[in-house]
Amino acid sequence: MKAFDIQPVCRDMEADIQQKIDNLNKPKGSLGRLEELAMQVCLVQQTLSPSVAHPCHLLLGGDHGIEREGVSISPREVTWQQMINFTRGGGGVNMFCRQHGFKLRIVDVGVDYDLTAVPGIIDRKIARGTRNFLFEPAMSEEEFDRAIGVGCELVDACLAEGCHVLSIGEMGIANTSPSSIWMSLFGGIPLEECIGAGAGLAAEGIRHKQDVLSRAVARFAEVYGKGCDDGAHGVDGQAHTVTTIRYFGGFEMVAAIGAMLRAAERHLLTLVDGFIMTACAIAAIRLYPAAQDYMLFAHQGDESGHKRMLDIVGAKPLLHLGLRLGEGTGALCAFPLVDSAVRMVNEMNNFQSAKITKYF
């Protein structure tokens, strides 16, 4: 895996930022989470005048070999059908991107269908879906590296266009399965507590999913050992984390990890979506803990275990709307709050210029 140079955000400006926020013509602390958001954006961008101009959304598509085991109520063809639907503007992600002014990039990283002739889809296909991790690693080391590179390339393209805030979504039937496994292995949580209904499995379907994933994790442990829930972040810990990611992950998920790490390296704020993207964020943080400074966790979704997943990294999500669509829609819904925080710090008057007595 390529090395990233990710440093914690520099906090030298923190006192100056706080002073500016406290001197806005409002009671101290009266805008609550918006003030915290403003602080984070200012620190990420290292400025007293932050910006959310030219926001970009990456929609990454990929299929999963584990889908062949019946762990999802949705068949795999829904992945490519939805990818085409997104190019026609008909998805939830399209609506929210239009509403909030995001440039949408639809990227085929590993869909099990030929989409090369479909206008509006960026072709970065690594393979037509991953292999079945019940029996073997989902991807090779070379495929893992390529997927990380796709995420880096996409972030660089957004930055070249002046992007100041990034959000990421996914389309990949059965991707709650690797997400649940990462949650268990990286968070030290029993696997059965990490598995939910996904796109709508009934009780029997959930039991089957638990059986399949438990057997996959047991096989992985036999070959590679456990060792992921010890909190290690050294060279050995990072190597085992990479092995865990590529054994279970999807191409779209690994590309998302690459994008998150590249965004952190380039000091770009990333809005983290729901269950799948939070799993990717946890994996990215396992590799480079400082990457979390550049992440804003947008919402607590309705998928079973998402709150516990957020607790793994101590995240405090902005929204709790019962969302579980994926595609990055929760991150997009949270964007207006980030925009409000930035407008607050940039546009509100202060006590002195407004000629208002500062009473604290």
By annotation, the residues acting in catalysis are 327
Helices (H), the chain: 14-22, 32-45, 77-87, 92-100, 141-160, 176-187, 203-224, 235-248, 251-265, 275-287, 306-312, 329-347, 351-354
348, burial (CB in 10 Å: exposed 0-12, middle 13-18, buried 19+): middle
Q: Phi and psi of 24, rounded to 5°?
A: -65, 150
- Per DSSP, the residues of 173-227 read TTTHHHHHHHHHHHHT--GGGT---TTT--HHHHHHHHHHHHHHHHHHHHHH---
Coil vs helix vs strand at 153: helix
CA distances from 286 to 159, 178, 192, 233 (A): 25, 16, 22, 7
- Residues in CB range of 15: below 8 A, 6 or more apart: none
How far is Cα 130 from Cα 63, in angstroms, rounded to an integer? 6
